[in-house]
Structure 1
Amino acid sequence: MSYLIDANIFIQAQNDYYCFDLCPGFWEFMGSKFIDGQLISIRNVFDELQKRDDEICSWSKNIRHCFQSIDDQETQVHFRAIANYVQKEYTPRHKNSLPHIQNFLSVADPWIIAKAKATNSIVVTHEIRDKNNSCKPKIPDICDYFNVKTIRTNELLRNFQVQFILSQQ
């Protein structure tokens, strides 16, 4: 089983709780699991990270080869199904839903779900389900419909039994 990592996992980790200088063990863990194939992501996520001018941009270049293509037929088939579902399900909900649908379909999110479906992976994201049933498609809601499991970073770390031990220098 593999875990497919959303861009927000990298970005929020760097910006909030696993800064490179404070928790290098997190980035060592992520890098090693990417290299051995237990963690994957897609090139769209890599491209998003490369638009930044920060450490995550540099770090991700070292594992560039681990970001998978979305050009395979199975991923393409799943993407079409996701796009059709989102347009059918979200358009009638609210008269202002079209920009949200277009935005969702123009970023990495539907491709993350499609690749996860194609590779039987679990999606790791910080997005949360929309309990209000709004006009904004969210990764966990779409994953639920397509039977793709989602978890957050803490669950990923627990699944790998990772512990970061404090050391002072």
Structure 2
Amino acid sequence: MAKLVYSIDSSALIHAWHRIYRPKNFGFVWDGLDKLIEEGRLKSSIEVYNELQKKDDELFAWCKERKGSIFVEIDEPTQAMVAKIMAAHPKLVDTTKGRSGADPFVMALAASTNPQMWVVTEEYPGKERIPDVCDAQNIDYCGVADLIEKEGWTS
């Protein structure tokens, strides 16, 4: 069986770093993410990097060290998929609050890659959230805990 490949969202990185799997206590999670990055199995849109840069905290420093390995520039297939996603889900990005700007790029990266990636997010279904759009677009998704389980990581 082919190993899974993931497209990770800002919410997953933020929740994991600050709330759920703090590096001080859950180093094995971050070691596992580094291994996935090294294997080319964990990617994210450069738009996620741009979102995280606004905070400029320890998580961003971690991302900055890995920028060339994990963050993917927007190519034509991804851009075409972003256009498709936004046409079908125009309320996905909240331009008034300046939030969720990377979301369509995370899903488009996943959908335009062969084999298709799993989106890793900590968002919950709601009105035009990542899980809702993934369901509508037939894109698999999971949370960080699910990724840990899928990869068989233990402390």
2:32 paired residue number: 29
Q: CA deviation at 1:100?
A: 3.9
Tell which has more relative contact order, 1 or 2 (C-alpha 8 A, sep 6+).
Answer: 2
Q: Distance in 1 between matches of 2:120 and 2:96?
A: 23
Q: Which of 99, 102, 108 is 2:102 aligned to?
A: 108
Q: Distance in 1 between matches of 2:95 and 2:7?
A: 22
Q: CA deviation at 1:53?
A: 3.2
Determine which structure has the larger helix proportion and give its number. 1
Would the aligned equivalents of 1:35 and 1:63 in 2 still touch at CA under 8 Å?
no
Identify if the C-alpha distance between structure 1 residues 150 and 103 changes in structure 2 by more than 3 Å, giving closer, same or farther.
farther
Query: In angstroms, what is the RMSD of aligned CA positions?
Result: 2.2
Match status 1:148 vs 2:111: no
Q: CA deviation at 1:54?
A: 2.0
Residues 76-123 of structure 1: CA deviation (Å, up to 9, x unaligned) = 111111111113xx6xxxxxx9x8476688600011111111011110
2:71 paired residue number: 67
The number of aligned residues is 149
Would the aligned equivalents of 2:85 and 2:108 in 1 still touch at CA under 8 Å?
yes
Identity rate of aligned residues, in percent?
30
Alignment of 1:107-126 (within 5 A): 107-119=101-113, 120-126=116-122
**Greater C-alpha Rg:** 1
Amino acid at match of 2:124: I
Which ranges of 4 or more aligned residues in structure 1 deviate by more than 2 Å? 99-106
2:12 paired residue number: 9
Q: CA deviation at 1:156?
A: 0.5
Unaligned runs of 5+ in 2: none
2:41 paired residue number: 38
| TM-score, normalised by the number of residues in structure 2 | 0.87
Q: Secondary structure at the match of 2:85?
A: helix
Unaligned runs of 5+ in 1: 91-96, 131-135, 165-169
Residues 16-71 of structure 1: CA deviation (Å, up to 9, x unaligned) = 1211222222111111211211111111111122222321111111110120111x
| TM-score, normalised by the number of residues in structure 1 | 0.80
Identify if the C-alpha distance between structure 1 residues 58 and 161 changes in structure 2 by more than 3 Å, giving closer, same or farther.
same
Identify if the C-alpha distance between structure 1 residues 75 and 54 changes in structure 2 by more than 3 Å, giving closer, same or farther.
same
